[in-house]
A and B are shown apart, each in its own frame.
Chain A
Amino acid sequence: MIKAILYKEWIKMRALLPVAAVAVLGFTVYALLRVERAVDFRGAAHVWQIMIDKETVFIEPLRLLPALAGIAAALVQFIPEMSQRRLKLTLHLPFPQRGMILVMAAAGLGALAVLFAAQAAMVWGYMHRLLAPELTARAMMTAVPWWAAGLTLYMLTAWICLEPTWRRRVLYLLMTAGVARMFFLSDVPRAYDGMLPWMAALWLFSLLLPLLSVDRFKQGCQD
């Protein structure tokens, strides 16, 4: 049954995934080529110096991509469920209802995790040849909140989509916008290091939110 649920999610996501992969990985290649050009013109030592003096990691243009990918994945997965209240079909299937939602979410989170891992591998693969380990770690740690934002905004978007009333959707949207802002408050490298455990806790909490929307759907809440 889990295989069948994943199959349905694959059908919904399969048009998005290549687009998301091209966008995320394409922009990553672009960002890394910019670093490569700086190395070509001014040498690696100059890049190191810029990274330290100007508090940059050169991959800042990528910061919003994981968040956008997470939002897009949730939209393509969960809007079809709420269109014509199709969620009734899904919840009627002989599978635990909360488990169903979590398996659906796992499909989206899994796809995002693969995408973000590919992006991380590209960044690390390029930078560790060029930079000191500390500087590579600095770039990677700077990007971790961006990936966390992607995974968290995926769950929050699912929460909004599955909510059965527009009034609450607007409220949840405002709350989600506040949470999203939190992930992008600082451009300083590793500014979020101390917050990473809290981000992990927030993501774990966000796993429960779509279940809340489904409970409201089952109660028959409507505008």
Chain B
Amino acid sequence: MGDSVIVCRNLTHYYGERLIYKDLSFEVPRGRILGLLGKNGTGKTTAINILSGYLRPRAGECRIFGERSEAISPATRARIALLIEGHVQYSYMTIAQIERFYSRFYPRWNRDAYYGLMELLKVAPRQRISRMSCGQRSQVALGLILAQDAELLVLDDFSMGLDPGYRRLFVEYLRDYARNGAKTVFLTSHIIQDMEKLVDDCIVMDYGRILVQMPVRELLGSFARYTFTTGAAELPPIEGAFHPGVMNGRAELFSFAPQRQVEQALGGAGIVFDGLVRESLNLEDAFIGLTGKY
């Protein structure tokens, strides 16, 4: 287990008859920023619900700071800042009221961090959150998360509703905040460009399983797109290749294997090819390479 803040072992969960995971295991090491990536419906929010104790899996368990996720003590909850999907907050309160409310629960509450972010909103402290735009509400929720100065941040779809400028600002702020304060962050987002700038490690999920868990740098250093021309109308399964396909005589596949090995694999599969080119990927392309384009 080592020095992991989050440890999930053999999670199995169904919604009705539909399998979400079977024997899913992962860890989040202390001091790392880990992004959970997956298509819609692969169970990212389900994982966060299990982690935060709002869903009991059919089998397996998650531990946070060594405590079972369905029975986390109040003292441990004070060490975990949780952003719920949709940036849900007490929207019947004003900016000032909600700060006053939360500050009583967190001994390390950082009022300046909260109001520093709120100043960017250009809204009156007495404005009710429900009367703000979706993006402004998201910013309030994120401000409250950062003000808690928690050791672990669990952020479900943190970039939802944010405009590009604020998203960039928040990503940079969060990265510095996490690194300087040695925070552990476990997050999901639909906007993968943000993740590339932010996360140290990623877990890429497909339906029911984890495809990869590794440092982003290692993923981008080893996973590549290979393109080549071929007379074949379609490609057979190729060892070590993800989502091979052909369009107008131009073939594409993704692989962790080096170029020489891909050449051998193509030859071994009986594919006649020419002009094999290896291209490095950004995180979004790597994600699509691993999970496919639907």
Segment at the B interface, from A30-38, A89-97, A142-150, A195-203:
A89-97
Segment at the B interface, from A5-13, A17-25, A131-139, A170-178:
A5-13
Chain B residue with minimal CB distance to A219?
Answer: B56
- Structural contact, B54 and A217, CB atoms closer than 8 A: yes
User: Is there a chain A Cβ closer than 8 Å to B285's Cβ?
Assistant: no
- Structural contact, A94 and B54, CB atoms closer than 8 A: no
Chain B residue with minimal CB distance to A81?
Answer: B90
Number of interface residues of B (CB under 8 A): 27
- Structural contact, B92 and A95, CB atoms closer than 8 A: no
Q: Which of B54, B56, B88, B93 contacts A11 (CB 8 A)?
A: B93
User: Is there a chain A Cβ closer than 8 Å to B86's Cβ?
Assistant: yes
- Structural contact, B86 and A8, CB atoms closer than 8 A: no
User: Is there a chain B Cβ closer than 8 Å to A167's Cβ?
Assistant: no
User: Is there a chain A Cβ closer than 8 Å to B77's Cβ?
Assistant: yes
Q: Which of A89, A94, A219 contacts B106 (CB 8 A)?
A: A94
Contacts of A8 in B (CB 8 A): 90, 93, 101
User: Is there a chain A Cβ closer than 8 Å to B12's Cβ?
Assistant: no
Measured CB to CB, the closest approach of chain A to B91, in angstroms, equals 8
- Structural contact, A12 and B104, CB atoms closer than 8 A: no
Contacts of A93 in B (CB 8 A): 74, 77, 105
Measured CB to CB, the closest approach of chain B to A168, in angstroms, equals 17
Query: What 1/0 flags go to B155-189 for Cβ under 8 Å of A?
Result: 00000000000000000000000000000000000
- Structural contact, A95 and B74, CB atoms closer than 8 A: yes
Cα A4 to Cα B99 in complex, Å, equals 11
Measured CB to CB, the closest approach of chain A to B26, in angstroms, equals 19
Chain A residue with minimal CB distance to B77?
Answer: A94
Q: What's the interface size class on A, roughly?
A: 20 to 34
- Structural contact, A92 and B90, CB atoms closer than 8 A: no
- Structural contact, B86 and A84, CB atoms closer than 8 A: yes
Measured CB to CB, the closest approach of chain A to B85, in angstroms, equals 9
- Structural contact, B54 and A88, CB atoms closer than 8 A: yes
- Structural contact, A218 and B53, CB atoms closer than 8 A: yes
- Structural contact, A89 and B89, CB atoms closer than 8 A: yes
User: Is there a chain A Cβ closer than 8 Å to B284's Cβ?
Assistant: no
User: Is there a chain A Cβ closer than 8 Å to B97's Cβ?
Assistant: yes
Given contacts A3-B104, A220-B54, whether A92 and B92 have CB atoms under 8 Å apart is no
Q: Which of A1, A80, A219, A220 contacts B105 (CB 8 A)?
A: A1
- Structural contact, B74 and A11, CB atoms closer than 8 A: no
- Structural contact, A219 and B74, CB atoms closer than 8 A: no
- Structural contact, A89 and B56, CB atoms closer than 8 A: no
User: Is there a chain B Cβ closer than 8 Å to A85's Cβ?
Assistant: yes
- Structural contact, B82 and A92, CB atoms closer than 8 A: yes
Contacts of B86 in A (CB 8 A): 84
Cα A217 to Cα B121 in complex, Å, equals 34
Cα A151 to Cα B200 in complex, Å, equals 53
Q: Which of A7, A86, A96 contacts B88 (CB 8 A)?
A: A86
Q: Which of A4, A86, A92, A217 contacts B104 (CB 8 A)?
A: A4
Given contacts A88-B84, A89-B84, whether A94 and B78 have CB atoms under 8 Å apart is yes
Most buried by B among A4, A12, A92, A218: A92
Q: Which of B82, B92, B104 contacts A1 (CB 8 A)?
A: B104
Cα A96 to Cα B93 in complex, Å, equals 23
User: Is there a chain A Cβ closer than 8 Å to B55's Cβ?
Assistant: yes
Cα A93 to Cα B75 in complex, Å, equals 10
Cα A218 to Cα B51 in complex, Å, equals 12
User: Is there a chain A Cβ closer than 8 Å to B263's Cβ?
Assistant: no
Q: Which residues of A contact B (CB under 8 A)?
A: 1, 3-4, 7-8, 11-12, 80, 84-86, 88-89, 91-96, 217-220
> 20 A-B Cβ contacts within 8 A?
A3-B104, A4-B101, A8-B90, A11-B92, A80-B90, A86-B90, A88-B52, A88-B88, A89-B82, A89-B90, A91-B53, A92-B82, A93-B105, A94-B78, A94-B105, A94-B106, A95-B105, A219-B55, A220-B54, A220-B56
Q: Which residues of B contact A (CB under 8 A)?
A: 49, 52-56, 70, 74-75, 77-78, 80, 82, 84, 86, 88-90, 92-93, 97, 100-102, 104-106
